Structure 1
Amino acid sequence: MNEFIDYILQFQNLNQQQIDFISSKATKLKIAKDDYFCEAGKIPRQVGFLVKGIFRICYYNSKGEDITKYFIEESNIVADYFNFKKQLEASIYLQAVTDCELLVFSRQNWENTATTIVGWETIVDKMIQNYLLQKVKRRSSLVEQDGRSRYLEFIKDFPTLVNRVPLAYIASFIGVTQSSLSRIRKNIR
């Protein structure tokens, strides 16, 4: 829980009573590698904070190919937040790439926190803005580069993921085939 409290304190100061209240609303959850936290076609029911592990945001294209849109590392929110908030069906999957440990808030507990903690919505807005800025920064640099440059940029932006994420997911994320990525990696060494 300390990781989550440290995370939200980046965005706004809270007193001990508020911290205790927030802590009382979260539960621990373990998700096994390859299992889903959120699935396309289902309404997201919870918001998580990733304590340990890696998630990926993915979808299936019109050809049925599995496409990785983004990775979520430790100390970040894990949620399809827009659809959680609006109670709409998700269009993406949040899949555990490794065994994961999360702190999870049910919809009711998240709403209780919002109605009890003054400024909670501001904290949440800042968390989402932080996440989106990170995502845009990391993705925008990949758009106009060749495969080798995209892989090198991936290593720079996600240094802790290179050896923890399957090559197929990295290849999908940077927009190359797995065999191309293997050649790129061989030529870099």
Structure 2
Amino acid sequence: MKKQLYSKENLAAYLRAFEILTETDIDAFLRLVEPSHLKKGDFLIKEGEVSNYIAYIQSGIFRSFYHSSEEEEVTFCFTFQNQIITAYTSWISQEVSRENIQALSKTDLFVISKENANLLEEEYPNWVKFFKHIAEQEYINLEKRVYLLQRETAEVRYQDLIKNYPEYFRSIPLHYLASYLGVTQRHLSRIRKNIVF
């Protein structure tokens, strides 16, 4: 019981940090979220499904991937503790997702349904601003990801991951990391040997 209360306190602190929501807005949200737990390897969403939930990651790591035309898995994103996650395009459009979101570790989440999120927006206008802000941040992150992939070397992309998420990247399996960086595992091994921590 204490762990759940502590978790909701973390979630409330996360929401306050945006300086968009009032305490009334946050309390309304906390009444609607539900705890959820996924085991390593479980999926938050699979391609072909509609994203009807958005989640706050209390603990754990996720990877987002799609299948190439050759049916190979291409990892394009990692999402970590104290972040919000969903298949955003599907969440916004309510069309089927093209991406898969898979837990790379045991994860603890708080989730809210699309239906309840819509109710929040209707009753508390600040939630419209908040979800708009989150969508904008997702777009900015996607643009940065495209920039890194197209303009920078794999070494720079690897160092960027180390710099921004040093406490997590060692938990990511090497074949997923190589896919994310757009290199072979052999190339990734050479990169790792040349970078001193």
Q: Same fold (TM over 0.5)?
A: yes
SS in 1 for 2:171: coil
* Farther-moved stretch of structure 1 (90-99 vs 159-168): 159-168
Judged with a 3 Å threshold, the aligned counterparts in structure 2 of structure 1 residues 147 and 84 are, in CA distance, closer, same or farther, namely: closer
**Alpha-carbon contact 1:8-1:123 (below 8 Å) kept:** no
Per-residue displacement from partner, 1:28-84 (whole Å, max 9, x unpaired)? 000111111011011112111111111111011011111111111112111112312
- Matched residue, 1:108: 115
Question: Aligned equivalents of 1:95 and 1:25: distance in 2?
Answer: 24
* Farther-moved stretch of structure 1 (110-119 vs 29-38): 110-119
Offset at 1:110?
1.4
Q: One-letter code of the match for 1:22?
A: F
Match of 1:14 among 22, 34, 38: 22
Match of 2:187 among 177, 180, 183: 180
SS in 1 for 2:170: coil
Offset at 1:139?
4.4
Count of residue pairs the alignment pairs up: 188
Map residues 26-65 of structure 1 onto 2, 5 A cutoff.
Answer: 26-65=33-72
* Farther-moved stretch of structure 1 (107-116 vs 57-66): 107-116
Please give the TM-score of this superposition, normalised by the length of structure 2.
0.87
Q: One-letter code of the match for 1:123?
A: F
Per-residue displacement from partner, 1:135-176 (whole Å, max 9, x unpaired)? 433542342233333322322233222211111111111110
Judged with a 3 Å threshold, the aligned counterparts in structure 2 of structure 1 residues 105 and 13 are, in CA distance, closer, same or farther, namely: closer
Question: Aligned equivalents of 1:120 and 1:85: distance in 2?
Answer: 14
Question: Aligned equivalents of 2:57 and 2:139: distance in 1?
Answer: 16
User: Where in structure 1 do 4 or more consecutive aligned residues deviate above 3 Å?
Assistant: none
Please give the TM-score of this superposition, normalised by the length of structure 1.
0.90
What value does the CA root-mean-square deviation take over the aligned residues?
Answer: 1.8
**Alpha-carbon contact 1:142-1:153 (below 8 Å) kept:** no
Work out whether 1:96 is the aligned partner of 2:106.
Answer: no
Map residues 91-170 of structure 1 onto 2, 5 A cutoff.
Answer: 91-170=98-177
- Matched residue, 1:77: 84
Judged with a 3 Å threshold, the aligned counterparts in structure 2 of structure 1 residues 152 and 24 are, in CA distance, closer, same or farther, namely: same
Work out whether 1:2 is the aligned partner of 2:9.
Answer: yes
Note the residue ranges of structure 2 that are not aligned, 5 or more in a row: 1-7
Per-residue displacement from partner, 1:3-22 (whole Å, max 9, x unpaired)? 3222222141303x332221
* Farther-moved stretch of structure 1 (107-116 vs 127-136): 127-136
Question: Aligned equivalents of 1:138 and 1:43: distance in 2?
Answer: 24
